[in-house]
Amino acid sequence: MWVLEIYQSRQGEGVWTGTYSVFVRLLGCPLRCRYCDTDYARHFPSTSEFEHGADLSPEEIAGRVLLLDRPHVILTGGEPMFSSEIAELTRLLGDFDYKITIETSGIFYAEVYCDLMSISPKLSNAQPLNSQKSNEQFNECYSRPDIVQKLIKRYNYQLKFVVDVPQDLDEVDLYLEKLQDVLPERVLLMPQATDVATMDQKAEWIIERCEARGFGYCPRMQIVWYGNKQRT
């Protein structure tokens, strides 16, 4: 498994915000989201001489996680569910009684062990600015409600939508109509922002919708704590 970094920090988003955790960031993601805040982790290494990251076995990753001595582990990326070895890694971590969060875009399904499947379905605001894809082509690549449905049926979950402008809120409603048995309190709306001022500016209209729908508001607390920078 190609790993970019393993480090300890606080979870900045979602229901376990503030939890001190070990982050395992895997390399590689087929998506090219416009607002991606981990662009440095999206590229797939093609050779063992790739300049970033290391090719580690699930056993090696678990060993490094053990050294950091935190009870929570967050598997992120990139897109961790893309890896063919993700199930084995979660099994090993589960054997050590870790609380495991997997952060995924919801475009791949795998039988894994986790305590929280943190799913971030992509809205049309994720499409790259220079994309030539039609809406139908975009949805085929970036939006897989059929897979999201399988994930929320199988795992404890949160659905985390990134919203940029008020019109995105209606798109969230339309996306949720494609799913069955979604609990409103498991739906989180997160402002697209890279600084605290922008996040606070968007919070008012996002929170208003959250209160109307029974959703949760999801600030990006890592920006408040550390700023918009790679955390290692």
Ranges 9-23, 36-50, 206-220: which has the least confidence: 36-50
Res 107 pLDDT > 80: yes
Position with higher pLDDT, 15 vs 45: 15
Ranges 97-111, 166-180, 217-231: which has the least confidence: 217-231
Q: 37-76 pLDDT, tens per residue?
A: 777 787 766 644 456 788 999 999 999 999 999 999 999 9
- Give the pair of three-digit tokens for residue 17: 């915000």
Q: Any idea which residue has 């600015």 for tokens?
A: 129
- Give the pair of three-digit tokens for residue 110: 């795998």
Q: What is the pLDDT of residue 49?
A: 45
Tell me the average pLDDT across 195-202: 94
Q: What is the pLDDT of residue 16?
A: 96
Res 200 pLDDT > 80: yes
- CATH class, range 2-226: alpha beta
Q: Where are the domains of the chain?
A: 2-226
Tell me the average pLDDT across 106-122: 96
- Give the pair of three-digit tokens for residue 104: 């995924």
Res 231 pLDDT > 90: no
Res 208 pLDDT > 90: yes
Tell me the average pLDDT across 31-38: 83
Rounded to two decimals, the pTM is 0.91
Tell me the average pLDDT across 159-172: 96
Contact indicator for 95, 72 with CB cutoff of 8 Å: no
Q: Give the distance from CA 59 to its chain's centroid.
A: 23
Q: What percent of the chain has pLDDT over 90?
A: 75
The torsion defined by the Cα of 21, 24, 29 and 33, in degrees rounded to 10, comes to 30
At residue 225, the 3 state secondary structure works out as helix
